[in-house]
Structure 1
Amino acid sequence: MTALPPATAPSAELAAAVQKSALLGRPGFLIRRLHQIHGALFLEETAEFGITPVQYSVLTALAEHGEMDQISIALEVGLERTTVAEVIQRLEGRGLVRRRQSPKDGRVRLVKLARSGQQMVEGMAEAVQRAHDRTIAPLPPQDRDQLMLLLIRLLEANNDVGTVPFRLP
C-alpha cells in the first residue's frame, strides 16, 4: 500500500461547499454522482440511437482499432471480459458488429464493426459530443481543460487498481 501525503486543510471555497453536505467532501461520491449526470445527458442526447455509453465505448474502440479479440476490447475500454461479451452479444444482435473465430486460435472470438456499426458511430458523434460538452459546460473554458487534465492524471495514477486496467499508450 502506498503511503499517502499528509492531508492539507481545505480551501475556504471547499470548506464552504462541504458545509452544504458532508457528501460534497467525498471524491468518490462526486465522481459517482457526476457519472450519473453524464449518463443521463448521454442518453438524452443520443436517445434516437438506443445505445448505452458502454456500448458506444465498445463501438468506438472497434472503429479506432479495427478487428479485435474480446480481451483486447476489454482492455481498450476498461471493462471486465464478461461485460464485454454481453455488450458484444447485444451489439451483434442489432447487426452493429460481427464475430468470427480466430483462424490462429479457435478459442478466440474476433469482433469487428459491421457497416451499420460504423454508420452508428459516425451518426452519433455530434450527439455524443453534445453530451460531453453539456457535462462540463458549467465550468469556464480554462477550468474544463484543467478538469480533464486532473481526471486523466487520476486515471493514470490509479489505473492498476481494480479488476480491469485501461490500456494506456
Structure 2
Amino acid sequence: MDTFADLDMTQKQVSVLWLVDDHPGIAQTDLAKRLRMDRATVMAIINRLEGRRLLRRGQSASDGRKQTLKLTPTGVKILAEAKKAIHEHESWLKGRFTKQEVKTLIEFLRRIHD
C-alpha cells in the first residue's frame, strides 16, 4: 500500500486503471469478472476513480445496457506513475535475493495463485 501512497491510490484502484488501459472500452461487468470481484465493489472503485477524473464511463456501441470505461489523460498519467512505483518496488524486493531465489519465489507464488 505504501507503494501508491504518494498517488493516493490503492492496489485495487491501480489494477482497475491498468485493466482499463489494456482494454479500452471494457464493460464494467467484464472488468468485475476479470478482477474476480463483485460488481458492487468494482462499481464503488469506478465511482471513486471517475470522481477523481481518472476514467470515464461511456455507452457501449453494441449493447446499450452496458457501460464502457476509458482512461482520461490524467488517468494515463497516474497509471504511468503507478507502474514506475511498481517497478521501483519490484527492483527493491528482487535486490534482496539472488537470481535463483527470485526464480524460486516466483515459482512458489505462481503455485499459490493457481
TM-score range, shorter chain: 0.7 to 0.9
Q: Which amino acid aligns with 2:57?
A: R
The whole-number CA distance in structure 2 between the counterparts of 1:67 and 1:134 is 34
Give structure 2 stretches of 5+ with no counterpart.
none
Q: Which amino acid aligns with 1:149?
A: E
Residue-by-residue CA offset, 1:12-45 (whole Å, 9 max, x unaligned): xxxxxxxxxxxxxxxxxxxxxxxxxxx3xxx2x3
Please give the residue correspondences for 1:1-169 in structure 2 after superposition, counting only pairs within 5 Å: 39=1, 43=2, 45-135=3-93, 137-156=95-114
Q: Which amino acid aligns with 1:83?
A: T
The answer (yes or no) to whether the contact 2:53–2:75 under 8 Å persists in 1 is yes
3-state DSSP class of the match of 1:46? helix
Q: Which amino acid aligns with 1:87?
A: I
The answer (yes or no) to whether the contact 1:55–1:91 under 8 Å persists in 2 is yes
| Higher Rg | 1
- Once the 2 structures are TM-superposed, how far is the Cα of residue 48 of structure 1 from its aligned partner? 2.1
Give structure 1 stretches of 5+ with no counterpart.
1-38, 157-169
Give percent identity, aligned residues only: 30
Once superposed, which parts of structure 1, at least 4 consecutive aligned residues long, lie more than 6 Å away? none
TM-score, normalized by length of structure 1? 0.60
Report the aligned-residue RMSD. 1.9
The answer (yes or no) to whether the contact 1:56–1:121 under 8 Å persists in 2 is yes
TM-score, normalized by length of structure 2? 0.84
Q: Which amino acid aligns with 2:72?
A: A
- Once the 2 structures are TM-superposed, how far is the Cα of residue 76 of structure 1 from its aligned partner? 2.5
Residue-by-residue CA offset, 1:56-75 (whole Å, 9 max, x unaligned): 00111111122200122123
Q: Which amino acid aligns with 1:150?
A: F
